[in-house]
Amino acid sequence: MSHLPAPDVTDQQLVAQVLGGNTAAFAQLVRRTEGLVTQLVFKLVRHPADRPDLAQEVYLKVFKNLAGFKFQAKLSTWVGQIAYNTCLHYLEKKQLVLLDPAEPAPDDPAPAGRRAPPQLVAGPAYDPEAALFDQDLAGILGAAIEQLPPLYRTLVALYHQQELSYEEIGQITSLPDGTVKNYLFRARKLLKQRLLATYHRDDL
């Protein structure tokens, strides 16, 4: 019979319970790591129809290889590494690129066509217009991030949304810390350029 693990159970205890045949423990492992796996799959894979199968493949690999996990990294980091490599294999199989060599350099001229988002004025207390403005900016930023190359948008999500360290990101992607920092710098610079190419500086 499977017993539901305590919420504060350690990674080591959780793994031991899974290996002991506790299916509820594996469900908790999935809950602990599904946010990270979802970010990786969604940022690396464009086609929505392929994402559920990839996520399922990730957790099948996790279950199959869990006995060999040596706790040299956090459990979530190890699962993230499996997710990242699974997506890389998918991209290679589909002959899709992780970082497009034709991607314009951050200092390249920006495309024409500038527009301004709606002008909304914030008040001293809660202001529906101010809230709408914040949502508008969040939507603008999110849309711009999605236009970055897969590797860039993945690193941005891991660092800014999952709040992982350079070291943890390096463990997941097998990239040196310096390369992670460099790619994040390029991603932010490209993101800023694209935003300024579309919106006036004062509107952001």
Residue with tokens 């060599």: 101
Residue 141: predicted pLDDT: 78
- The whole-number average pLDDT for the span 72-89 is 96
CATH code for the domain of 87: 1.10.1740.10
Would residue 144 count as lying in a domain?
Answer: yes
Would residue 86 count as lying in a domain?
Answer: yes
Query: Pick the residue with more confidence: 69 or 197?
Result: 69
Residue 2: predicted pLDDT: 60
Stated pTM of the model: 0.77
Domain boundary among 78, 93, 108: 93
* Contact in structure between 177 and 92 (CB atoms under 8 Å): no
- The whole-number average pLDDT for the span 110-136 is 43
Is there a single domain that holds both residue 136 and residue 188? yes
Is there a single domain that holds both residue 16 and residue 80? yes
Is there a single domain that holds both residue 136 and residue 89? no
pLDDT digits (tens, 9 = 90+) for 138-194: 677 788 888 889 999 999 999 998 999 999 999 999 999 999 999 999 999 988 888
Give the residue among 129, 161, 128 at the shortest CA–CA distance from 145.
161
Residue 113: pLDDT over 80: no
Residue 115: predicted pLDDT: 38
Q: Is 12 exposed, middle or buried (0-12, 13-18, 19+ CB in 10 A)?
A: exposed
Of 36-40, 50-54, 193-197, where does mean pLDDT reach its minimum?
193-197
Main-chain dihedrals φ then ψ at residue 117, nearest 5 degrees: -70, 170
* Contact in structure between 149 and 98 (CB atoms under 8 Å): yes
Q: Is 15 exposed, middle or buried (0-12, 13-18, 19+ CB in 10 A)?
A: buried
Which residue segment(s) compose the domain that 180 sits in?
Answer: 128-203
* Contact in structure between 25 and 14 (CB atoms under 8 Å): yes
Would residue 1 count as lying in a domain?
Answer: no
Is there a single domain that holds both residue 87 and residue 135? no
Domain boundary among 93, 114, 138: 93
Would residue 50 count as lying in a domain?
Answer: yes
Residue 20: predicted pLDDT: 95
Would residue 82 count as lying in a domain?
Answer: yes
Residue 105: pLDDT over 50: no
Domain boundary among 49, 74, 93: 93
* Contact in structure between 55 and 8 (CB atoms under 8 Å): no
Would residue 107 count as lying in a domain?
Answer: no
Both tokens of residue 34? Answer: 């599904």
Would residue 143 count as lying in a domain?
Answer: yes
Question: What are the C-alpha distances in Å from 22 to residues 18, 29, 57, 166?
Answer: 5, 11, 20, 34
Residue 198: pLDDT over 50: yes
Total tally of structural domains belonging to the chain:
2
Residue 118: pLDDT over 60: no
- The whole-number average pLDDT for the span 57-75 is 95
Query: Pick the residue with more confidence: 139 or 95?
Result: 95
- The Cβ-side half-sphere exposure at 49, using a 13 Å CA radius, reads 0
